[in-house]
Structure 1
Amino acid sequence: MNDLYAANTPAAFWRPVQSISPVLWDGAARAAAGVLPPGLAESASNGAAAGILGRALDESLFGEERYRLSGLKSIYYAVARPLLPTWVRPLLRKVYHPADDVQSALGWPVEDRLVRFQFALLARVMDELGQDALNIVGLWPGGNRFACVLTHDVEARPGHDFVRQVMALEEKYGFRSSFNFVPEGYRVDGDLLDEMRARGFEVGVHGLKHDGRLFASRQLFEERAQKINGYARQWGAVGYRSPMTHRNPEWMQSLEIDYDLSFFDTDPYEPMAGGSMSIWPYFIGRFVELPYTLMQDHRYLEVLEQRSPDLWLEKVDFIEDHYGMVLLNSHPDYLLKPGGMAVYEALLAALAQRRDCWRALPREAADWWRRRAATDAAQLATPAGRAALPEAVVWTIENRGNRLVANVPGAR
């Protein structure tokens, strides 16, 4: 499975303008690996940099069975869940995973060790080069220091019928987002999809049925994947998220998508708990992965009963400080409940005040990440190279007292 993550090398992530040897990257990665969780750090002693990153991104900390539901959960999705009224399911989540902390190999809601690894690795490279600064292709286009991507999963018909209200609220603060619909879960209004696209929003696919059985067997997955691909073509969709974030990166290579949204940096409360630890996009085989990095709204609003965006914004501060990607997965089905839209509006209002933030649709973020990876960084110094990636800005990463800081031209 690690081959699916082979494109995620430190050199591909940092994109330095000057040439740096693979041997130097590998040595720096091994030297920096001590900041990673023990299960990863211990296996890095003789590893290459790409392999160390791959083991982090593929959630190997969570064991061989990490992409398989337990027997009890499988029975729940196959037998019990279809019989439950939709209003009961959030209550069960609240009882099954209360607000108390759960045991996890990762921190939550902030897991900083892969972030620290990436920065420690680059600092080691700069030390070996004898440089206090290094020019890279900026992580984000223009003068933007971090990215903000808003996504929604529309689980049922009430959420579907609330989409226009959510769009209007986002437009008020200058945002656009994606909405992922369940093709065979309820009737999807084609006029709504047309209106969304006309207003600058994005349409995505959210499984085939919202029944938790998509990954019950390889055969069933492949049968449903063909139908999912058909709906994606019909809707002009290039993005996807699996219901309940059930996932299997190897099987998902059958999906004809440009990007996926089914993974996350850290979340011990999902049916398949885990986390890639990444606050940036990365590659999984054929597609770009855009992991969600903010706590999902059902836990935030219904389990933790938050009535302000402050806890979300604490994580935003961390992501902004490390030039990452703020990505929220929220649900019109939950936002329509009392208090939901008020908290979401407060979050949008706060994000709108953030400077140097790239407000991107997920398809734009994925396209940027793919084109950035495909561009010869050294060629950005030439007119032809700049034409290939015109929105690229060369950042200067400076080592200021053992802390790496990006000098971003154009940032305010």
Structure 2
Amino acid sequence: MLSDQFGYLEFPSAKWAPSNQQRLSFFMGRLHACDLDYDEVIAQFRSGSVVRPAVVRKKKTLYFFFDPKKLLLSHIHKKCLAQKKPFFVDYPFIYDQTSAETHFMILQMLSAFQKWSQDSSGLSYPEWPQDLSLLSILKLLIGCGLPAMELGIFTGPWPKRAKSLVCLSHDVDDRVGYDNMEMLLNVERGFGYRATYNIPGMRYEVDMGYLKSLEEEGFEIGIHGYKHRSETPFLEPEVIDARLKESMERFKGLKIQGYRSPALRRTERLLSGLEKYFQYDSSVPDTENHTQSRDFNGCSIPYPFFVGSLLEIPITVPQDGVLMALKYSPEKILETWKTKILSLKDQGALIVLNTHPDPVFSGKPAMARIYGELLKFISRDRELHVSTLGELNGWVRKKCSVRSSSSSPSRPVQKAA
């Protein structure tokens, strides 16, 4: 559950929806709900057995007993940027560069520990596989007439007047996955869909002619870290810059727009460095708790948002590796994907799927089969439109002015000491 200084924020099952006729009253400070004769509690804070109103309605006015804009942006910022350095980064044993089989085995153990930690604590934020608390606050503000772009968040409209946009992406972690890309490429070709394939900048040899031919078909190539290690986001800015520059120079013949960090590791210094070379990043999940991260992971917002001039495109559907580490069968993975997609569509939200073409993950026949079943499910829904991450980036920038890093509210201003 989303938490604030007063406790965990929750929304009672009140049958109420905001409208543009609703007025907003923010910054209530120390005013208590008992000082106000309200009609309905929209949201409440819970701290142990103590419950107190957080948002109430009195006639046509909503009263917030906290600053919703500040809460939204601080949580997006915290979950987007503030990650601890993994303990294994400084070890001689490099987790991110093990074989896919070893990688998967370790991921299973870490996922089991993370699930046990969550079950023991009884509380988590963001909840998995979907957390609606932050989204509920955003919907309140939008419903009362506040433009989402004032917060740097793009909530639509989507291309082709679709209710939701689907973006297909794949992280090609190692050479084995690279050699196996055609398995998933052929599935996508069968439906006329195009996806984004993210490749490490300097980990293995690639055929540039082959990648160019994929671009000519409409597929997109993105950068997936330097050598697929988790250390880059935690290095000094000049080292990060050198690695990004070297990766971009290697792929200079391609139309590179985006980046995804290995293991979805990111820091403010990494995202600041990305602005120089990339238009978008896609290293933040909306929610992903059963991972190698010690902390619950995700921004809770299933929409693109700006961090400076960089567009952040969150992964909003559980990754294949996470579900497989939880020992889901291919059929259960398919149902999990379908359920999350339908839930996101109900919100008019962004649907971003990320899988891995390595034979240990989605590059095996059983997983390629359910990937095809998923694309068939998507193709039958006329309210969905499919694009690459790069096409989404272009669409968002066309629909709204590019936000400068100095004016974006998604990166709070650091006050001088």
TM-score by length of 2: 0.72
| Residues 242 and 111 (structure 1), Cα distance of their counterparts in 2 relative to 1, 3 Å cut | same
The SS at the match of 1:179 is strand
- Distance in 1 (alpha carbons) for counterparts of 2:133 and 2:301: 9
| Residues 322 and 137 (structure 1), Cα distance of their counterparts in 2 relative to 1, 3 Å cut | closer
Match of 2:387 in 1: 360
The SS at the match of 2:171 is strand
Structure 1 residue 124, shift from structure 2 partner = 4.0
| Residues 33 and 191 (structure 1), Cα distance of their counterparts in 2 relative to 1, 3 Å cut | farther
Q: Decide which of 187, 196, 199 is 1:181's aligned counterpart.
A: 199
Structure 1 residue 68, shift from structure 2 partner = 2.0
Structure 1 residue 213, shift from structure 2 partner = 1.8
Matched ranges for 1:131-142 at <5 A? 138-142=156-160
Point out the structure with the larger helix share.
1
* Cα deviation 1:8-63 (Å, max 9, x = unaligned): xxxxxxxxxxxx9xx9667399999947998xx98x845362x3321121135x9x
Match of 1:92 in 2: 106
| Residues 337 and 139 (structure 1), Cα distance of their counterparts in 2 relative to 1, 3 Å cut | same
Match of 2:37 in 1: none
* Cα deviation 1:79-98 (Å, max 9, x = unaligned): 34378444211011112212
Matched ranges for 1:246-395 at <5 A? 246-255=265-274, 256-272=277-293, 273=295, 274-308=297-331, 309-333=334-358, 334-374=361-401
The SS at the match of 1:203 is strand
- Distance in 2 (alpha carbons) for counterparts of 1:66 and 1:33: 30
CA-based RMSD of the aligned residues comes to 3.4
2:285 aligned partner, one-letter code: F
Does residue 1:112 correspond to 2:132, yes or no?
yes
Higher relative contact order, chain-length normalized (CA < 8 Å, sep 6+): 1
Q: Decide which of 214, 220, 236 is 1:202's aligned counterpart.
A: 220
- Distance in 1 (alpha carbons) for counterparts of 2:192 and 2:28: 40
Shifted more, 267-276 versus 104-113: the winner is 267-276
Structure 1 residue 105, shift from structure 2 partner = 1.8
1:252 aligned partner, one-letter code: L
Match of 1:9 in 2: none
2:353 aligned partner, one-letter code: L
| Residues 84 and 265 (structure 1), Cα distance of their counterparts in 2 relative to 1, 3 Å cut | closer
Shifted more, 114-123 versus 200-209: the winner is 114-123
1:322 aligned partner, one-letter code: Q
- Distance in 2 (alpha carbons) for counterparts of 1:154 and 1:300: 18
Structure 1 residue 325, shift from structure 2 partner = 0.8
Match of 2:88 in 1: 73
2:363 aligned partner, one-letter code: L
TM-score by length of 1: 0.73
Shifted more, 333-342 versus 238-247: the winner is 333-342
Structure 1 residue 252, shift from structure 2 partner = 1.8
- Distance in 2 (alpha carbons) for counterparts of 1:137 and 1:303: 31
Structure 1 residue 138, shift from structure 2 partner = 4.7
Structure 1 residue 254, shift from structure 2 partner = 1.5
- Distance in 2 (alpha carbons) for counterparts of 1:32 and 1:186: 57
Structure 1 residue 157, shift from structure 2 partner = 0.8
Structure 1 residue 225, shift from structure 2 partner = 2.5
The SS at the match of 1:335 is coil
The SS at the match of 1:226 is helix
Matched ranges for 1:58-69 at <5 A? 58-59=77-78, 66-69=82-85
Structure 1 residue 115, shift from structure 2 partner = 2.0
Contact kept, 8 Å, 2:226 with 2:247, in 1: the verdict is yes
Structure 1 residue 180, shift from structure 2 partner = 0.6
Structure 1 residue 137, shift from structure 2 partner = 9.1
Shifted more, 233-242 versus 302-311: the winner is 302-311
Contact kept, 8 Å, 2:83 with 2:266, in 1: the verdict is yes
- Distance in 1 (alpha carbons) for counterparts of 2:349 and 2:208: 35
**Identity across the alignment (%):** 22
Match of 2:17 in 1: none
The SS at the match of 1:237 is coil
Structure 1 residue 369, shift from structure 2 partner = 1.7
Q: Decide which of 230, 233, 242 is 1:223's aligned counterpart.
A: 242
2:159 aligned partner, one-letter code: P
2:284 aligned partner, one-letter code: F
- Distance in 2 (alpha carbons) for counterparts of 1:82 and 1:294: 22
Match of 1:130 in 2: none
- Distance in 2 (alpha carbons) for counterparts of 1:203 and 1:173: 19
1:93 aligned partner, one-letter code: L
Contact kept, 8 Å, 2:96 with 2:103, in 1: the verdict is no
Does residue 1:159 correspond to 2:177, yes or no?
yes
Structure 2 unaligned blocks of 5 or more: 1-19, 30-39, 48-52, 55-63, 119-123, 147-153, 403-417
- Distance in 1 (alpha carbons) for counterparts of 2:201 and 2:145: 48
- Distance in 2 (alpha carbons) for counterparts of 1:210 and 1:200: 25
Match of 2:13 in 1: none
- Distance in 1 (alpha carbons) for counterparts of 2:115 and 2:204: 34
- Distance in 2 (alpha carbons) for counterparts of 1:235 and 1:125: 41
Structure 1 residue 364, shift from structure 2 partner = 1.3
Structure 1 unaligned blocks of 5 or more: 1-19, 127-135, 376-412
Q: Decide which of 231, 238, 244 is 2:257's aligned counterpart.
A: 238
The SS at the match of 2:382 is coil
